Structure 1
Amino acid sequence: MTTDKPHTALKCLVIDDEPLARRAIVDFIAQVDFLSATASCGSALEAQELISKEKYDLLFLDINMPYLSGIDFLESISQPPMVIFTTAYSEHALEGYRLQIVDYLLKPITFKRFYQAALKAKELYLLKNQAREEVSLVESSMYIKHEDCFVKIQWTDILYIEAMQNYLKIHTLEKMYIIHQTMIAIEELLPKEHFFRIHKSYLINVKHISSLSGNRVFIHQIQLPIARQRKETLLNDIIYKNLLSK
């Protein structure tokens, strides 16, 4: 197998109870620069164990296997990766497309037919990634009504948000905005992995934490109070996970 695969190669899991058929798919994958045969196994039961520990982009999945068929296995996965069926039986084709597989390869599989299916998987993967990026781009900003106009704010520019009854002060890198909104409502809009409620009156962007000392969080040299129970959560969920030395 080639070892100089690009980092963007699709991570593949080959599942087939026939060793020779499994080997043939792995060899085909080795010839395609945008695929990488990360693992292979001889049963759906083994595959269940593998996908519980590792994320795969593409499965090459045989249908007729002992104990658990490829179709039953695929139906048991809540969020399956892309799948290409590899089988000696054509009668399952409609069932495969019901499960939204990428392609259906009949054995014996030629490299030409394999490559056609691989190109379909690559195209679908790129389309899905593009869609995710577009969604992420939209969700990275929001509009607020400030005075008599609507202002677009990138959430990455927000330092912290301060509650004042039914109003909020949004402190950004450049200026401060006052809007008529509740803390609960804006907390739902912002990405939870980047914003953390340190106090009933303060929601901070963890990206801008300068330091944490005692019962104070420093955001660009601005001191903000942190509730005792929230400090423990902040330490465990964010600080300790990025701590270089203890």
Structure 2
Amino acid sequence: MEQKKMRCIIVDDEPLLRQHVAEMTEQVNFLELIETFPSALSAAPRLQQGDIDLIFLDINMPYLNGIDFLESLETPPLCIFITAYSEYALEGFRLQAVDYLLKPIVFQRFFQAATKAYQQFIQRNKTLSEPSANDTMLFVRQGDAFVKISWTDILYAESMQNYTKLHFKERILTIHQTMLALEEALPNNHFFRIHKSFLVNVNHIDIIAGGRVYIADQELPISRTKREELLQNVVFRKLLSR
């Protein structure tokens, strides 16, 4: 099977550094360099296309530094920070960066960081693949680890920007995945987006009344435009289960 490559970009205000990192990416067969950028502001429109898997991102840049830029992205790609200062490592880990490279960058460290990113890339793709009808298990990202859960036990999911809270009967699990990524990973005949902040497992709905949905004593809002669609969805599932 052909090895799937990570599509990456380089963002750094130093031309020689961009060239150096670009030359190193050419030596790694699982990396595909798409473009390089001299600033975060110039890279922003390219990232909006949503097809970049990894960004090599300098921290100290004019106008908008790498840390603030990464925090501004709703669905950021995997990130490897580039910096001349080791004290930024803590910020990198807080933002779930894969790794950070200290200048001057040697190829050995570059390759280690890229390999770590590729491992996460492969796991992320497995996590986001839709489960089959007979497979109720799903891996979700929590910090640097991946936790195995059964999606049938999820009552509902609550969006927290770059994080999502999974509500079960006896626990709440906060995962480092956006609501959109989670929704794509779950079977759409069992889960329904009732509101921009809530995705519910229709199997656990107890009551639909007015503009509210009730699940295990929890009252959740439903968008006006979604109510009729939800009713049709639930009724359709009931008919199929007979």
Same fold (TM over 0.5): yes
1:8, CA displacement in angstroms? 1.8
Residue 12 of structure 1 corresponds to 8
Residues 1:114 and 1:138: Cα distance change in structure 2 (over 3 Å): farther
The 5 A counterparts of 1:32-43 are: 32-43=28-39
Deviation above 4 Å: which 4+ runs of structure 1? 138-141, 186-189
Size of the aligned set, in residue pairs, is 150
Residue 233 of structure 2 corresponds to 184
1:40, CA displacement in angstroms? 0.5
Residues 1:48 and 1:183: Cα distance change in structure 2 (over 3 Å): same
Counterpart CA distance in 1 for 2:39 and 2:5 is 24
Residues 1:139 and 1:78: Cα distance change in structure 2 (over 3 Å): farther
Give secondary structure in 2 for the equivalent of 1:92: helix
Counterpart CA distance in 1 for 2:135 and 2:235 is 14
The 5 A counterparts of 1:121-160 are: 121-133=117-129, 135-138=130-133
Counterpart CA distance in 1 for 2:122 and 2:87 is 30
1:112, CA displacement in angstroms? 0.4
Letter of the structure 1 residue corresponding to residue 124 of structure 2: K
Letter of the structure 1 residue corresponding to residue 234 of structure 2: A
**Structure 2: tracts of 5 or more residues without a match:** 137-151, 153-186, 190-230
Give secondary structure in 2 for the equivalent of 1:66: coil
Contact 1:10 1:34 in 2 (8 A): yes
1:188, CA displacement in angstroms? 8.1
Residue 86 of structure 1 corresponds to 82
**Structure 1: tracts of 5 or more residues without a match:** 1-5, 144-153, 157-181, 190-246
1:53, CA displacement in angstroms? 3.1
Counterpart CA distance in 1 for 2:73 and 2:81 is 15
**2:95 aligned with 1:46:** no
CA RMSD of aligned residues (A): 3.1
1:137, CA displacement in angstroms? 2.2
Give secondary structure in 1 for the equivalent of 2:48: helix
Residue 214 of structure 1 corresponds to none
1:60, CA displacement in angstroms? 0.1
Counterpart CA distance in 2 for 1:48 and 1:78 is 12
Residues 1:138 and 1:128: Cα distance change in structure 2 (over 3 Å): farther
Counterpart CA distance in 2 for 1:90 and 1:49 is 29
Residue 201 of structure 1 corresponds to none
Counterpart CA distance in 1 for 2:188 and 2:98 is 36
Give secondary structure in 2 for the equivalent of 1:94: helix
Using CA pairs under 8 Å that are at least 6 residues apart, name the structure with larger relative contact order, 1 or 2: 2
1:20, CA displacement in angstroms? 0.3
Residue 140 of structure 2 corresponds to none
Letter of the structure 2 residue corresponding to residue 185 of structure 1: V
Residues 1:65 and 1:138: Cα distance change in structure 2 (over 3 Å): farther
Of residues 39, 50, 54 in structure 2, which corresponds to 1:58?
Answer: 54
Give secondary structure in 1 for the equivalent of 2:131: helix
Residue 173 of structure 2 corresponds to none
Give the structure-1-normalised TM-score: 0.55
Give the structure-2-normalised TM-score: 0.56
1:32, CA displacement in angstroms? 0.4
Letter of the structure 2 residue corresponding to residue 49 of structure 1: P
Letter of the structure 2 residue corresponding to residue 58 of structure 1: L
The 5 A counterparts of 1:74-113 are: 74-113=70-109
Letter of the structure 2 residue corresponding to residue 10 of structure 1: M
Counterpart CA distance in 2 for 1:47 and 1:7 is 27
Give secondary structure in 2 for the equivalent of 1:67: coil
